[in-house]
Structure 1
Amino acid sequence: MRLQLLMICFFNGALGLQNDSSQAEFNPAVIFSHATELLEGDILQIKCMIPVTEETQGQLCIYLCKDGIGTRMERLTKSKSTQEFNVQQVAIKDSGNYSCVWSTKKHFVQNVTAEGHNTVFIQVREFGLGSIYLRNTVVFESASVDLICFGCNTKTVKSFHMYLCMNGAGVDMVVAHSDGIARFTLGQVKREDSGNYSCVYSIKKNPLGNVAVTNEKSVFIQVTEMDVHQWSVESRNVIRLLCSVGLVIAAVAFLIIHNFYSIKAMFCTTSTPATRPQTPKPDDTASCSIETRQLKERRESGQTQLSSTVSPQGEES
């Protein structure tokens, strides 16, 4: 019995020494990642960098670890100090803490248990939470409603599947381009269409029945019946406004026409003396004739007196 206990302790100690020696063979590296939240089907891009020392001048092996366990391995030459890892079509199971280590020896990836200088937490989601925009939140029955959804810009994929959700359940889907913008139109809405509307997006196409996501970035649409009285009041207001505008236009037109003819008449009056001589009045003509006749009679009487004082021989009478 004692011999068995001694053997167990010996093997446990040997195993611990082996693990410690294997841990000592790995050196920490620095990890970088631009994106920490990804969608299923996206590409995970991570860079690992090692310090440049005399020890790192030869050929090295660099390992990408997730939650302290190796997942991938790449070789580094002495001319490189940075290695990029690309994980294609990530899934939810790929979420976790990532780090990088390096070694001068090659090991089986699954046997690498170490962590680097720092860790990066990568979250992989099935759906991304988008934003929604709506101009009017209160609409009448049978109206048309336009909603605009905004996702995220990405360079790794060319298009998204954008889903419109009502009360957390998918009701419509369109394909959005890399700018992450999509438009939805609800036509002939009814009162039962009232509810909270939100947008989610994914790379993979999912049936609408499988889309059940709660997004706090939502808008509430209230569909109400058409109020006939309110509609008539609004119609009367519109008619009054149109009549007022029509009266203003008519008044302005009248003033323009009146001013035009006034200016035209003034122009004709001032130009008449220069173009056409005035006709003398009847009273002026009569007075002129009388004065002429009197002047003629005076001349004739003067000549008669002169002839009576001088004789034909030139003597005085």
Structure 2
Amino acid sequence: MIWDINLIMLFFAVGDVLLVSTEQFRTAMLQIRKTSVVEGETVAFRCMISAVHREQPNKERNWFHLYKNREKVSSLPEPGGIAAVTFIKEDITKNGTGNYTCMYGNQNPGDVKNISHGPPIYLNVQESQYSLMLQLDQQSAMEGMDVSFKCMIPVELRDAIQKDGFFDLYKNGSIVDSQPVPKGLPAVTFSIKKVNKSDTGNYTCVYGKEKIENSANNKRSRPVYLDVTECLTSPTTSAKSQQNNSTESYGLGNDIRIFLSLGILLVLSGIVGEDFYSRQRKHHGEDTNG
């Protein structure tokens, strides 16, 4: 009889523990805008609790926990007055594929694999066809300037690359330049000196052994666009033009000043001459009368 009582007490004690565990960690609803994405995209996991749980008063601040295949990925505290959070995963990779669930409870859930996580949402991450990174130092350049393209292999793909491959730079499907893999960092820089209008176009970096841009055995980057604008007047030409205009204006001003000076001299000479002749005539008249 004593054993029966102990078993009953143990049963209720275990029941209380399970009840506390399930109350501390409630199943939350999870929403994903797209369940199929491509590597490099940003995925937003929206996690929220039901309206019933929102009405229950909480003495302590609770947390949301995001799981993938029942392994915790991330945790965020519950915002004040908002019974939902959004987990952001930027530049997601292929290993992000899996079943995602969300839970709501205290800050340190510990091992809760055996607690109900609710219906999972399966996220499928597809491998991107673009496996290289191509960066252009300036997307818009004027004729006569130098531009540089930096092509590199991402860290997560460096172990699987072909060691004897080449980096090739293409413009609108035609090869522009080629470089072997350097011994150090698996990245190269392509430079174009004194670009002109014909260098405008879409550039792509390709890595591999085959000299074919779209070969299945090669890795390639997203295209980047270079816009080369025409240079109408160079600074030297502009400076010379201003200097010539200034010289011409100065010469014209001198001619006008000389012309005006001569005119004034002629007028003054006429006045002086007329006054001299008037005095001579007057003096001559006085001598005759005397």
Q: Which bin holds the TM-score, normalised by the shorter protein? A: 0.3 to 0.5
TM-score, length-normalised on structure 2?
Answer: 0.40
Higher Cα Rg: structure 1 or 2?
1
